[in-house]
Amino acid sequence: WYNALCLMSYWTHSDVYVDAAKLCKSSFRRKFVNKAGYLYDVIDTPNGNDSSLRPNQIIAVSLPHSPLTPRQQKSVVDIVQAKLLTPYGLRTLSPDDPSYSGHYRGGPEERDRRYHQGTAWPWLLGQFADAHYRVYGDKNFIAGLLIPFRKHLKEAGVGSISETFDGDAPHSPGGCIAQAWSVAEILRISEWSNGLMV
């Protein structure tokens, strides 16, 4: 929302969007940033704020206009890298969480319960790459994120990238064998970082 307001203020030169963006930025920083240095997953629930460490917060750093200060951006990137980054994407939940499930297995109902509880998603690697580059400016690190996919292109759905991977090593592929958003984000990272996929 903050990114959209900033874009609208640029496109329209309207003070309405400029003021709304300022208010949004201030509110976001006040409400979403927790004392642990990352962002709450959900705020203002009947049970209070949810401090589960999840990957969607990386989008608050990866978009062109971030509501976070540079220091807050670095903190989010560092914590996400330390707790959620796998060779094939970002885990959907920190392994430190009691609800974490490191393997995407079982029948449809069991897989549905695990989908957001630690399964790693390749498409989020694109958002992480954008955020990491914003903070550190290191294209070599970003290109290194692509290395595991060279092997993966020869397994599972040959020539494609799977929908998900286990959060735990050896990070076996799961979900569908050829997922458009996984492929798109890995290609996008490869293109802007000059990473070689083959």
For 18-52, the pLDDT digits (tens) are: 999 999 999 999 999 999 999 999 999 999 999 99
- Type of residue at 46: P
Nearest to 71 by CA among 125, 128, 29, 24: 29
Alpha helices in the chain (DSSP H): 2-12, 15-32, 59-62, 70-83, 108-114, 123-136, 139-145, 147-152, 180-193
Contact 17, 3 (CB under 8 A): no
Q: Is the pTM of this model over 0.85?
A: yes
For 134-172, the pLDDT digits (tens) are: 999 999 999 999 999 999 999 888 889 999 999 999 999
| C-alpha count within 13 angstroms, C-beta hemisphere, residue 54 | 13
| C-alpha count within 13 angstroms, C-beta hemisphere, residue 15 | 0
Question: What pLDDT, on the 0 to 100 scale, is given for residue 197?
Answer: 55
Q: What is the average pLDDT across 122-141? A: 96
